[in-house]
Amino acid sequence: MDKTTCRYLAALCVIFCLAINNLQSQVTWDGGGGNNLWSNGLNWDTNTAPTSSDDVVIDAFSVEIPNGYLAFANSVTLNGSTLSLVGTGKLTIDVGGSFALGINGATVTNGGNIQISNCAIGISLQGSSSSLINNGGITINNHSGAGLLFAPGSSGCSVDNNNSMSFDNGTNANVGAISYQASNAFNNDGTITIGSTAHAGMGIAFGVFGGTFTNTGTINIVNTGAAKVGFSSGFFPGILTNTGTGIINIGSGVGGNWIGGFNLDLTNNGTINLDKSGAVDVILSGSGTFAGALEFSTTNKVAPGNSAGCLAFNSGYSNSGNTAVEIGGTTACSQQDKINVTGTANLGGSLTITLIGGYMPPTGQLTQFTILNANAINGTYASVSYPTVPDITWTISYTATEVMVNANGILPVELTYFSAKSTDNQSVRLDWHTASEANNEGFSIERSDDAKDWDEIAFVNGHGTTVAAHSYYFLDEKPLAGMNYYRLRQMDFDGKEELSGVVSIDIQNLEDFGNLVFPNPTNGTFEVQGNFPPEALLRISDSFGRLVKEQTLSQTSFVDISSEPSGIYCMSISFFNRLVSKRLVKR
């Protein structure tokens, strides 16, 4: 064998030996050292304390990392055991496998410091009744999966953070730094920091089975990627409770700063600060303060209080989703729900009023509940659902700064019908019917272009006291261009009054309607053009009132009345609450 070959084989031997030394090995606790100290090498089956390349397994033992000791591992698995870190004791886990620290039916009490980095999953709570109690510091960085995971199939597991936990929110934008894959509990009474400039994972992610997170401390989510406080896309809600002392700070994020998701139930009795608004999907309840712009979409629900309470929004408020208000009296925040807005409140969506605590509005008087106040109000609720209460009529009213729900226990007039329809000369006809009247002086007719600021345009006398049904009408010959809102203010001779519901109609210029029909006069066939809705219906009647033609209209419609005799016909088009008529001549 020549010298070159010998050198080559020697080099291979060195490489092989180095590789063997660097291979990860399993080190198992056997307690042979006679105490519970991690630092005692005799407690391990290798008779040497684990190194950073070792996968540590501890089964059914109680182990302590003592004050001042620095422990290392590639991964740690605890099965039915307990691990305690005392004083300045520290556990460093680097380049873990599927998880860095697995807690399986075990308990970890950290009074020192746990440092985890470069792993798939940082801490995994598995099995039944696993717990992590943090009284020191935990830092988890550069995790491709969850930083802390409640593993699938786990139950009765809990995390109690009483000091400091820090996550860089991971490299996967679809995985939370704190992730629930089973319904378990996390309680934060310390400080949690989630975020980095490098990663774009979520903050707290609830999975298909939900879970609970209770915050009495501080949560800081600050990053340049997407940051979600909570997300749930499953069958059961993730329940996030921010108590009166809880603070959640959400920093700027390129992907949008979100509160919530498909099925998140958030109760806020503390403070949530948003650095900017994002796409918000949330069921929001509780009492507390929100700083930052919030926008609630059509799938969201805002329900102040927990059996009556107040929510404060300090940077405006927009909701096109659902609002639920509970009423158990006239005192805001303690007996009835209320929303307080600093800035502009943009309203829409649905409002549902519910009575609680057996409360019934009194009869014989008008009781008002202010459910929202703001510096300015835009829009109205698209629909309002009221509870059914005998002898109570419900209405809603808007001012420039307040929204009030009115429970009217005064029954001077039983109004059975109220409508608004346009006529062919651009007027609006109001019709209303009463089934009975008591001490009724009459009706003040009020009109508005925004359903907030109202003007009286006429007064129609009533019939005093009567049990007979009566019909009323009024013709508004000069309606406003665009939307017209109308309501009736029924007035008694003794000064009491009651507001009706609101009806509305959109007045557009149809004076050129005749120009959309040609030819007119016609020999029997003609064309109707216009941007009509699908509900538009054309009717043609002869001079005796007999209907000779009826058909729906599209943008261009051809009409044939060739079989009808020559003469003058009345042609009308109706859609929504509008009816427009013109004369048609057939030669």
Residues 400 and 313 in one domain: yes
Q: Which of 409, 438, 454 is the last residue of a domain?
A: 409
Q: 481 and 366 in one domain? A: no
- Boundary-marking domain end, from 507, 522, 548: 507
pLDDT grade for 207, boundaries at 50, 70 and 90: confident
Q: Give the pLDDT mean for 164-180.
A: 80
Q: Specify the length of the chain in residues.
A: 587
Number of Cβ within a 10 Å radius of residue 119: 25
The two beta strands, 271-274 and 218-221, are: unpaired
Query: What amino acid is encoded at 413 in this protein?
Result: V
- Identify whether 431 is part of a domain: yes
CA dist 164 and 96 (Å) reads: 22
Residue position matching structure tokens 């679809």: 174
Domain for residue 121, yes or no? Answer: no
Instruction: Specify the amino acid at residue 8.
Output: Y
| 21 CB-side CA count, 13 A | 6
| pLDDT for 529 | 76
Can you give the residue range of the structural domain that contains 520? Answer: 511-586
Supply the pLDDT for residue 283. Answer: 64
Distance CA 150, CA 124 (A): 6
**Residues 305 and 390 reside in one and the same domain:** yes
**Total structural domains within the chain:** 3
Give ∠ CA 161-165-170 in degrees, rounded to 5.
130
Q: Examine the fold and report which residue of 373, 394, 409 is the final residue of a domain before the chain moves on.
A: 409
pLDDT tens-digit readout, 100-156: 999 999 999 999 999 999 888 999 999 999 999 999 999 998 888 889 999 999 999
* Pairing mode, strands 148-150 and 123-126: parallel
* Three-state secondary-structure class, residue 447: strand
Highest mean pLDDT: which range of 264-273, 388-397, 403-412: 388-397
DSSP state of 289: E
What CATH number should be reported for the domain holding residue 479? 2.60.40.10
Q: 298 is written with which tokens?
A: 């059509």
What torsion, rounded to 10 degrees, do the Cα atoms 539, 542, 544, 549 define? -40
- Confidence at 278, pLDDT banded by 50, 70, 90: very low
Residue 565 lies in a domain: yes
- The residues with which 180 forms a beta bridge, in sequence order, are 150, 206
Cα 282 to Cα 398: distance, rounded to the nearest angstrom: 26
Q: What is the CATH number of the domain that holds 543?
A: 2.60.40.3080
- Please identify which residue in the block is written with the tokens 């309470």: 309
**Res 168: pLDDT:** 81
- pLDDT higher than 70, residue 225: no
CB 586 within 8 A of CB 567: yes
Euclidean distance between CA atoms 455 and 368, whole angstroms: 21
Q: Would residue 439 count as lying in a domain?
A: yes
> Do 499 and 517 belong to one domain?
no
Token output for 198: 């490098």
Asked whether residue 534 is domain-assigned, the answer is: yes
- Structural domain includes residue 113: no
- Among the listed residues 125, 244, 249, 141, the one whose alpha carbon sits nearest the alpha carbon of residue 191: 249
Give me the mean pLDDT over the 253-276 stretch.
Answer: 63
> With 60 as the cut, is the pLDDT of residue 231 above it?
no
For residue 72, tell me if it sits in a domain.
Answer: no
Query: Is 14 among the domain residues?
Result: no
Tell whether 503 and 520 lie within a shared domain: no
Band of residue 496 on the pLDDT scale cut at 50, 70, 90: confident
pTM for the predicted model, two decimal places: 0.60
Let me know whether 488 and 550 are in one domain: no
Tell me: do 289 and 404 sit in the same domain: yes
